[in-house]
Structure 1
Amino acid sequence: MAYLYTPWLLLTQILLQVAKYEAKVPAIIVFGDSSVDSGNNNRISTPLKSNFKPYGRDFAGGQPTGRFSNGRVPPDFISEAFGLKPSVPAYLDPKYGISDFATGVCFASAGTGYDTATSDVLNVIPLWKEVEYYKEYQNKLRAYLGEAKAKRILTEALYLISLGTNDFLENYYTIPTRQMEFTVQQYEDFLIGLSENFIREIYSLGVRKISLTGLPPMGCLPLERARNFMANHDCVQEHNNVAVEFNGKLSNMVAKLNQELPGLRILFTDKIYQLFYQIIKRPSSYGFEVTEVACCATGTFEMSYLCNENNPYTCKDANKFQVNNVMANSIGWSQ
């Protein structure tokens, strides 16, 4: 799932780091989960959807798009910041075609992870399938623009990758299968291996500029805090510790690949965890009133179809809350 996010902070880091290379960004291309999904789950058979209100009620036109937010999500803001269009379309959305995707496209699927077993939990698009869609997109782009122009766009595009939280919260800590196979540290290493293989694969397809997001303080999500009744619904520190440990391993992997693969530039947002933690502990400093519960219904466990505008407990002003127990609002995305 997506998580409490203040993408202005993420966006600032990306822009500052990309600026070091005087990068030209002709397109924003997105892989990941609901933190960056712009509506692909609308077109697949899964219970994990957000194509109904209150999702999207603050999006342009006031209609839900399949984004797990009341408005836009990070790739949309990042695209606009680079002078491209203000929203990045979902690849599976039939309203869009290759002319729209030439400056940005999203392959992300809410609920997915590095681990294919994670995508099986809610029958969403696995990461390997996102890559297959990307290959299909490459062929369409070449047919539309010609080989030379398509190659320039694919090489100079900024690729946003955001996932990993679901692997722990939907999969490892919820379903016993992986716990029977791995200790949590071994599972971290397993995911790092999958992440490395994924990056090597897309590198072989021509990807060169990547922004990779680490894990947030996932033990502080409203859903995790709601379950932590023995500790007065405080953050689950064990899960936060895992996030820190995993991010450290991810950072080491990034450093290795940046050295090994010629021309590759991965920008790892390694300060994201601490930034999010500050928001959770000092919400008023970032424009929130509440971070321990969310906007949807009781604010503890509701998401997807349980997050609906007809529930009498759903908040009227999403700008003060997370939209659901794992998702930020559009104001939070654009702080």
Structure 2
Amino acid sequence: MSLKSLCYCLLLLVVHFSLSASSAAAGKVSAIIVFGDSTVDPGNNNFTPTVAKANFPPYGRDFDGGVATGRFSDGRLVTDFLSEAFGLPSSVPAYLDPATRSSSSPRSVIPLSQQLEYFVEYKERLKLVKGESVANKIIAEALYIFSIGTNDFILNYLVLPLRPAQYTAPEYVAYLIALADAAVRDAYDLGAWKIEFTGLAPFGCVPAARTLNHDEPGECNEEYNKLARRFNAELQQAVWKLNDELAGAQVVYTETYSVGSAIIANPSDYD
């Protein structure tokens, strides 16, 4: 399976839903502001005290210059392609990089509450650099992408023992949805209007999940995939509710599960 093919397939989905949310969206996206986990981290973890690093080969082997940037990928992320599609930089520096703290696209894999605090900080920095009027325009016309769940399930629930002792699987899904709902509402209160929430791909088929599948070693873990589908169904309901309750906001759900499933089932079609 080609990672670039997967990126472009998911990119097309995100762009389609982002643009269709409003006829005025095209050409008026001032910045891509992403909240999420390692699947969308452009390298913030390089500047945090964590053992989970992606600053060494083979990470980054397909990135410009073959440099490992801290992205958990061999090249650019879907959000990088999306940024380029809207006429923004083809790859956006990590917000926590000291050299780029005035960047117009803060992104991190720190807990959502901390990410929102960085967003507040970013708004103030933007006002200092651009002036309040321009800063407010950038904030209002930005596209806000939320991508959570993969790490929350694979690492925090399915591997580590603490969360399973606290929550059943349905309870944990509800817990994550509540966190997601609250984060979107907080971002809305801070000026986010165009919001996209990415559903989970079949994470039961990623290498780590296949390795943990003791019943069928090497095969997709269908119990994990059931969790992804349940999360996606409840996330869609949360998105509908957010649209009803957040006046003026345009919140869209991007379905990626079927795309990932198709690629896994017929990888040669995406070479």
Give 1:154's aligned residue.
139
**Aligned-partner residue type, residue 9 of structure 2:** L
TM-score (norm 1): 0.76
Residue 83 in structure 1 maps to residue 68 in structure 2: no
1:235 aligns with 2:220: yes
- List alignment gaps of at least 5 residues for structure 1: 110-124, 288-335
1:293-332, aligned counterparts within 5 Å? Answer: none
Summarize the alignment of residues 1-335 of structure 1 with structure 2, pairs less than 5 Å apart.
6-20=6-20, 21=22, 22-23=24-25, 24-98=28-102, 101-102=103-104, 105-109=105-109, 125-270=110-255, 272-287=256-271
Higher helix share: 2
Alpha-carbon offset, residue 5 of structure 1: 8.2
Note closer, same or farther for the CA distance 1:189–1:144 as it changes in structure 2 (3 Å cut): same
- Give the whole-Å Cα distance in 2 for the aligned partners of 1:184 and 1:226: 20
C-alpha contact 1:251 1:268 (8 A) present in aligned 2? yes
- Distance in 2, matches of 1:97 and 1:143, equals 12
Aligned counterparts of 2:159 and 2:16: Cα–Cα separation in 1 = 38
Quote how far apart the aligned CAs of 1:16 are: 2.3
The amino acid that maps onto 2:262 is Q
SS at match of 1:200: helix
The one-letter amino acid of 2:224's match is H
1:282-307 deviations in Å (ceiling 9; x for gaps) = 111111xxxxxxxxxxxxxxxxxxxx
The answer (yes or no) to whether the contact 2:38–2:151 under 8 Å persists in 1 is: no
- For 2:270, the aligned partner's letter is Y
Work out the percentage of aligned pairs sharing the same amino acid: 46
Task: Pick which of 243-252 and 57-66 moved more.
Answer: 57-66
Q: Secondary structure at the match of 2:64?
A: coil
SS in 2 for 1:56: coil
TM-score normalised according to structure 2 size = 0.93
| Distance in 1 (alpha carbons) for counterparts of 2:124 and 2:245 | 27
- 1:30 is paired with a residue whose SS is strand
CA root-mean-square deviation: 1.7
Separation of aligned partners in 2, 1:138 and 1:31:
15
Task: Give the equivalent residue in structure 2 for 1:322.
Answer: none
1:231 to partner: Cα distance: 1.8
Report the AA paired with residue 177 of structure 1: L
Structure 2 stretches of 5 or more lacking a match?
none
CA distance in 1 between partners of 2:4 and 2:210 (Å): 13
Runs of 4+ in 1 over 3 A off after TM superposition: none
Q: For this pair of structures, how many residues does the alignment match? A: 265
Paired with 1:200 and 1:236, the residues of 2 have a C-alpha distance of 33
C-alpha deviation, 1:281, in angstroms: 1.3
Contact residue 243 and residue 250 of structure 2 kept, 8 A: yes
Paired residue type of 2:174 = D
Report the Cα distance in structure 1 between the residues aligned to 2:196 and 2:209, rounded to whole angstroms. 27
Deviation at 1:74, TM superposition (A): 1.2
What do residues 154-184 of structure 1 show as CA deviations (whole Å, max 9, x unaligned)?
0110111111111111111222222222110
